[in-house]
Chain A
Amino acid sequence: MHLPTNYSRCTEFQSYFKQRFCIVTFSCLLLLSGCAQTVSSVIPPNIHTQQNVDSMSEQPIDFGYLMMAVKTNQTIQELRVEGPMDFILTAKDLQKGSNYILVPVQEGDYILSEIVLSKYHKFDFSEDDYWRFEVKRNAINYIGDLSTEFHGWWNSRIKYKLENRSSYALEYIEKRLPEILLRHQVVYGGIGEDQFLERMTAINLPLVQQHNEESPE
């Protein structure tokens, strides 16, 4: 029998491969952290020309860059992330549409813990392993394209997934932020193993290593 269901609950991930979407029904959740800091993408929203992101070399030594794209049919108010440093991405970077985000954060293992769409619509992922990602120091850590589709108000449901579109991210960097490739390694930090970015940007590795060695400890 084929049941007309496009949604499944996140808590019951019975199929490891076929399950592409999850649903979290409407819930009001407690704020996870009172001390998370607000961070902003260093990429201006909706850039269409090559940019020079000067601020990228001015981060602490144990920092790396989190890179992701956000594709959403409704502006997300907050994206809360927990890890070595808890932080919040705000609506400024999470507008309806599609956009790349690049945020300097401390190296380490993180979890994308909560999506806040409004005061009444918060979706908690903090217990789900598949929202974990890793940030390596001095690298651009692409973790995926966060795709969210939010429907309904009273009976809210959200479809979301983190898609690995590394090659698109790399094309974006090469086109819009080419100087990054000279100073930072680009790696995949999302869930699962994927060497594509490292191998494709390997040509720049000597430069990156040189840069690392010259950096003061």
Chain B
Amino acid sequence: MKLLTISIVTLLFSFGASATSIFSGEEIFKAPHYSVPQLNPNGKFVVGRVNDGSKRELVITELSSGQQYPLVFFAKGNYLEEFYWIDNDSLYIEYRSGKEQRKSILNIVPNDLATKQPTQRVKASGHLLSALPAKQDTVLFLRENGSESPTIYEIHTDTLLAQGFGAAKPFSNPLENAKGYVFDEKNHAFFGFTLNDDEDAFTLWFLANENSQWRELYTSNDVSHEFRALEYIGDEKFLILSNENTDRVSLAVFNLVTQKIEKVLYEKPQFDIVDAEYDTENQQLISVTYLEHGTPQIEYFRDDAQDYHQFVLESEDDDPVYEVSYSLDGTKKVLFAYGAAHPGTYIYADEKNKNTKLIAHRYPNLVEHEFAKTRKISVTTDDVTQDAYLTLPYLGGNGVLLVIPQIISDQNNNLTEFSKSVQFFANRGFTVLRVNVDSPFDFGEQPNDSISINVDETIEKRIHAAVSEVKIQQDISKTCSVGGSYTGYNAVRLPLLYPEHYDCVISMFGIYDFQLLFSGDNAGGLNLSRQFVKDTFNNQGDSVVEQSPVFLAKNLNIPVMLIAGEKDDIAIPEQTNRLKYVLSKQTDSLETLIYRDVGHGVKNWYGEQQLHAIADDFLRRHLQLPKLETIADPVEAAKEYVKVADVFDFDTLVENEKPKAFEYYVKAARLGHPRAMFNYGAYFHRGEFVDQSMEDALLWYKKAAEAGYASASYRLGNLYQGISGIDEDLALAHKYYLMAHDQGYDARAGIKIAEQLCTGKIVEKNLKQCLALLDLKQIKKDNLKNREKKVTKASTKMLFSILPKLMLDNDNLDVQNSFYKRLVREEFDIRNVNESISEVRIGYRPKNSDFEVIRDNEHVPAISGSQIGFHLTPASAHEDGKIGLLTRTTLIYANGESKVIHHNLYHKGNNTDWKIYYTLDEIDLEASAIKFEIMNINREPLVDHTFQLQFQ
């Protein structure tokens, strides 16, 4: 074991050694790069998920060589749900493609992992109940039968692939009218569920073994609640997942006899628990799985790898090491080293051969970073010991203590959990104190024994004791309370009760008015619930309403940031708006953000990055801390300012705050952020929040373009084409289009370049390059290979106007014409190039009205939104391919001059009448007429009509 120990020390010491920089939210608030590794039964390969933001795949590691190979790539819209080893060389995967669930079996070819592994789709409807790892090539499959009850089969994988269910033996003891089943792998038991006739109640059933009787476990009259059994843990008790007593789906123990949830074992405040592993013998939780913004995360609790722990004690860290996957004989393992200051490393250990190997770091990008350590402090108040967890900054503290009340279950352990949020703040110099508190109430849930509404000052008193202790030990000059959900209430109450000790408050998705818990909507306000609340309140006297922060807030005169979600049905936005209403009457230091499309917490990693950037910025501004760019890389600081700006600019909030967005874009622009510089240019361009200045707009657009921002380069290209009052400079326009193209702008930049290459006006004519840039079909194909998407709707639309322009306005050689025709044929399937017309109706179409035929020389009102146009009847029918027409629109001025203003390519696939309209929009008042020409693809004129304009 010594050899093993030493080598693991080496592996882990590669983590967290040197870097002492401020890291950005982008670096830490992201999905794990590597997660959920699973060893195959003989322990020779391990498969894990990889997510690097743009690429999601399964990778296989050959443990003999340590070599890693991509196994399955998941394109956009496809999401891996689960995977299991069926045997040593077969991997079963379930993934979602759009709304469709797909299943495949990968046959691993051990000697040829570098090539694509053969894959077979499982077409049978249903899903895997168990991979039955002890049985070679055999699985337990739940086959769905349309509206009938599903059937369980223990089936050979070949039979499953062939859908040969007729040859397979169905489960002998099915549950009558079952809607679904869950397999208890450990006990080889089954759970099934049924619905009542109205489908508004469900019953969960239990079958201890195939030969026993189904027993009714639990009936719920509320199908909106989750209640899922995982396993039988003895003594008539079951491990279940449920949100009956908690806001999120939590892991709990259910007692069949009492029909009650005995104990919540684990709850994650922000995420639902989806699976768990439990040691029945020792009644100890081993792990839970939850979905963190869509990625499964496993948290481990049993530091049972004592041998590995030896190494931990030898190192400076006291991180536990967990066993997370085993070979069938148990001698080969995947270990996971993880701790409060350690984001996690997966290690392969072969006990027999005393061999270890690094499989992957969970966050490779964080390997170079150091992280703050957390220690437990205990403070005794009124004979009650209060646990708290103190995390100290390690790059020099800023003297600010963040006090975070938290409600955690017994199993949570702040000493072993890597908290991204805590590390984010500690890295920036904040001292973080997390104090465990009891829930002040279980609001929003059914009445049960555990409900209590604790509104006296006990909780805050205990928190304050911990805070006082820290203030004695550490150099703290300012203190802010930070809370969310239940503890948002505590976060606001702390400065109300101890005003001289707090300098600001940040509260997210919080509760601030007790009464509103029971009058939030007309379901919560029912008489029965009111009676219940009244009873509960009366336990503590009538003053309970008075304790609501909303009614005490008149004493709160420090900066407060409130964050809420408009779609939060736990802490409804009215809670936050009430506190905002009260505070806004008395302070200018209130900042409220109510997210438009967010419930009880942000939805994704980008949301986490934004939220933390906003909080950090709030603290810096109100506590007079150094600006972020003075302590962090200015490039990273600029990125955070842009994240803050985006919150105020992108309809993220119920009410946009454009001036704030402007303020933060400018900050970021001054630090050289490309998109922010472009936006700053756009503010000058529009004259929004600044005096309109094309000179400044160009200045900032150019800075953004030089910094590589493709949109800026493209806009400059457009501007130098003579739009928006800039002198036309086609050479400069061409230069910027080239830049935009090189910087990855969509196919429009290429089309603009192609225009010059085809005409040869600015650059040397090059038809081959021109064609390549106009050939959107080929570009699309190439993009697929490179996982790019340059052919946008806008670029296709542009091709419709550029092609006719090239075909009609240039002296084209025959070779060029055939080139365009080929393009028209290949891009739009237009095969009929010599369309002719038998009848032409010229007309006018007032806005929101029907087409009216007009006389040849009749004037048309030049009203914006109205249309001029033609109804054309084809002279002959066409059989194959589409038919195309080219149009050119020219403004005619009274002095005889003219200007081509529009080209278009029309195509359709049948012989019905053509209906071609041109919308009059901001017509030049100097114009007297509009000339409209229609030609077939051979450029033979079909219609040439001039509409005389009549201005109102």
Contact = CB atoms under 8 A, between A and B. Distances in A.
Contact of B224 (A5, A171, A194): A5
A2 B202 CA distance: 10
B513 A196 contact: yes
A193 B550 CA distance: 15
A166 interface: yes
B545 interface: yes
B167 interface: no
Given A166-B574, A196-B578, A191 B515 contact: no
A13 B523 contact: yes
A168 B577 contact: yes
Contact of A196 (B226, B525, B527, B550): B550
Given A8-B200, A18-B224, A162 B522 contact: yes
Contacts of A8: 200, 222-224
A165 B522 contact: no
A161 B523 CA distance: 8
Interface string A18-49: 11101000000000000000000000000000
A196 B553 CA distance: 13
Contacts of A129: 526-527
A164 B223 contact: no
A131 B522 CA distance: 7
A48 B344 CA distance: 55
B523 A19 contact: yes
Interface in A163-184: 163-168, 170-171
Given A12-B200, A16-B532, A171 B519 contact: no
Interface residues of A, number: 41
Contact of A17 (B223, B249, B529, B580): B529
A173 B214 CA distance: 60
B691 interface: no
B225 interface: yes
A13 B545 CA distance: 27
Contacts of B526: 13, 16, 129-130, 191-192
B444 A18 contact: yes
Given A15-B222, A17-B529, A194-B516, A168 B523 contact: no
B223 A5 contact: yes
Nearest to A194: B519
Interface string A186-200: 001011111110011
A12 to B, nearest CB: 6
Interface string B559-577: 0000000000100111001
A165 B580 CA distance: 13
A212 B574 CA distance: 31
Interface in B493-549: 513, 515-516, 518-530, 532, 545
Given A167-B577, A196-B550, A9 B523 contact: no
A190 B226 contact: no
B221 A193 contact: no
A193 B529 CA distance: 11
B525 A6 contact: no
Given A3-B223, A20-B569, A196-B516, A165 B574 contact: yes
B225 A16 contact: no
Pick the most buried of A5, A129, A191, A195: most chain B CB atoms within 10 A of its CB.
Answer: A191
A64 interface: no
B446 interface: yes
Nearest to A128: B522
Interface in B161-211: 179-180, 182, 193, 195, 198-200, 202, 204
Nearest to B584: A171
Contact of A191 (B227, B446, B519, B573): B519
Contacts of B519: 164, 188, 190-194
Interface residues of B, number: 53
Given A6-B224, A162-B522, A192-B519, A16 B577 contact: no
Contacts of A130: 522-523, 525-526
Contacts of A13: 523, 526
Interface in B83-117: none
Nearest to A160: B522
B314 interface: no
Given A2-B228, A196-B513, A20 B523 contact: yes
A163 B224 contact: no
Contacts of A171: 577, 581
A117 B277 CA distance: 51
Nearest to A147: B521
Candidate in B179, B193, B524, B572 with the most chain A CB atoms within 10 angstroms: B524
A168 B518 contact: no
A7 B365 CA distance: 44
A13 B224 CA distance: 12
Q: Give the most central of B221, B446, B525: most A CB within 10 Å.
A: B525
A210 interface: no
Contacts of B13: none
Contacts of A2: 226, 228, 249
A112 to B, nearest CB: 9
A196 B527 CA distance: 19
Contacts of A196: 513, 515-516, 550, 578
Interface string B441-453: 0011111000000
B523 A190 contact: no
B843 to A, nearest CB: 34
Contact of A9 (B198, B524, B530, B574): B198
B193 A164 contact: no
Contacts of A188: 519
Contacts of A22: 523
B951 interface: no
B732 interface: no
A16 B204 contact: no
B775 to A, nearest CB: 44
A14 interface: yes
A163 B524 CA distance: 10
Contacts of B198: 9, 12
B224 A1 contact: no
Contacts of B358: none
Contacts of B650: none
Interface string A130-142: 1100000000000
Nearest to B569: A20
A6 to B, nearest CB: 7
A164 B204 contact: no
B224 A193 contact: no
A144 interface: yes
Given A9-B198, A195-B545, A18 B225 contact: yes
Nearest to B443: A17
Given A1-B193, A18-B444, A193-B518, A164 B523 contact: no
A1 B201 CA distance: 12
Given A191-B525, A192-B519, A194-B516, A15 B225 contact: yes
A181 to B, nearest CB: 13
B73 interface: no
Contact of B525 (A1, A192, A195): A192
A1 B445 CA distance: 18
Contacts of B226: 1-2
B582 interface: yes
A19 B522 CA distance: 10
B228 A1 contact: yes
B551 interface: yes
A12 B222 CA distance: 9
A207 B182 CA distance: 66
Interface string B573-598: 11001101110000000000000000
25 contacts: A1-B228, A2-B226, A5-B223, A6-B224, A8-B200, A9-B200, A14-B221, A15-B222, A15-B224, A15-B446, A16-B446, A17-B529, A18-B225, A129-B526, A164-B525, A165-B573, A165-B577, A167-B578, A191-B525, A191-B526, A192-B520, A192-B524, A193-B519, A194-B519, A196-B550
A-B pairs with lowest CB-CB distance, top 9: A192-B525, A192-B519, A191-B525, A14-B221, A162-B522, A16-B529, A2-B226, A130-B522, A194-B519
